[in-house]
Amino acid sequence: MTSLKQGLDRRAIIWIINWTFSGAVGCTAVAVLITYHYIAPFGAEVMATSMRLALFIPLLLAIPLFAFIGIKLQQLACANDLLTLASRYDGLTGCLNRAAFTSDVTAFVAEQDLKPFPTTSALMVLDADHFKRINDRHGHLAGDDALVAIATAVRLAVGDGGLIGRLGGEEFGVFIHHAHPATVGAMAERIRLAVAEHGQAIAPDADPVTVSIGVALFTYPVQYEDIFKIADDQLYLAKNTGRNRVCLIEFSRLPGGIRAMATQLRAGLADALTDSFANHADEPSRVAGR
């Protein structure tokens, strides 16, 4: 009973109570109707006894039966929720796993590609510096502590403004839905500084944990694979230029991004209209000829 109370929340208990009450009342009502239909010809005395039985027997049987079924249904729902969470989230850090992160970002990118004026977004790829050294010198439990510390710092910096995923090993991904060069750069710096300042030594004579971050700021339309490669290239640039740093690049298929795209579209439309009027300037007006 203790495990049951721990596994079911208040909403589940209320649902079980409603389910049990509704089921018991429904069974009792059916029993009463059937009893009245078949016993009525046998007289009032037989009817009274039969109706009492029709009331009490279904209640005695239905209440524990529906309560048991309701509890099992709620436990099954909880198990399904746990399976869903396990299929989407990394068990150590609580971040999205690689498959869920990629799926969610790809879905958002596809949605933005359909909009006439989509938002500007950013993708960060960050990697713990010299992580193998931590595992080799201090053990994998110390490495796990370092990963949890990094995930915590990223989560505090990003808040509700983006998605966070553990891409594998000591590598994390951060997708910012609505981004600006200044704010994204500042966010990446906050993550780097938070890890460097609060990623204290995990064991005696161990170095503080640091991260290198590659950032791709981009406009739509894009492909997720292309943006990830650009951010990953920036990560390797940060690694090769000293680690514990941020490298950011702005990427667009058109110079100037969305504004340039809109400007070119307007210019192209104006040119098309000008050419159309020029080609028909010498033709007689059909309206005037009527």
Is the preceding peptide bond at 41 cis, omega within 30 degrees of 0? no
pLDDT at 253: 56
Q: Are 11 and 103 in the same domain?
A: no
Per-residue pLDDT of the chain (290 residues; tens, 9 = 90+): 334 444 677 888 888 899 898 988 898 899 888 888 888 788 788 888 888 888 888 888 888 888 888 888 888 888 887 787 788 999 899 999 999 999 999 999 999 877 887 789 999 999 999 888 888 888 888 889 889 989 999 999 998 889 999 999 999 999 999 988 889 999 999 999 999 887 665 555 666 789 999 999 998 888 899 999 999 999 999 999 999 999 999 876 544 544 444 444 445 544 544 454 444 444 433 333 32
pLDDT at 4: 40
Q: Are 211 and 164 in the same domain?
A: yes
Q: Are 220 and 193 in the same domain?
A: yes
Active site residue 170: yes
Strand arrangement of the beta sheet that strand 211-218 belongs to: 162-168, 171-176, 121-128, 211-218, 246-251
pLDDT at 106: 95
Classify residue 38: in a domain, yes or no. yes
CA 9 – CA 268 distance, rounded (Å):
60
- 51 Cβ contact partners less than 8 Å away, ≥ 6 residues apart: 32, 35, 36, 39
Overall number of domains in the chain = 2
Classify residue 64: in a domain, yes or no. yes
Q: Are 159 and 67 in the same domain?
A: no
CA 219 – CA 187 distance, rounded (Å):
19
pLDDT at 267: 52
pTM of the model as a whole: 0.65
Q: Are 144 and 229 in the same domain?
A: yes
Q: Are 197 and 256 in the same domain?
A: yes
pLDDT at 202: 56
Q: Are 129 and 169 in the same domain?
A: yes
Classify residue 267: in a domain, yes or no. no
Classify residue 90: in a domain, yes or no. no
Classify residue 285: in a domain, yes or no. no
Classify residue 235: in a domain, yes or no. yes
Catalytic one among 45, 111, 170, 250? 170
CATH code, 209: 3.30.70.270
Classify residue 278: in a domain, yes or no. no
The residue range of the domain holding 6 is: 2-85
From 43, 61, 85, the end of a domain falls on 85
Q: Are 112 and 58 in the same domain?
A: no
Q: Are 182 and 80 in the same domain?
A: no
Q: Are 143 and 233 in the same domain?
A: yes
Q: Are 170 and 249 in the same domain?
A: yes
Q: Are 65 and 22 in the same domain?
A: yes
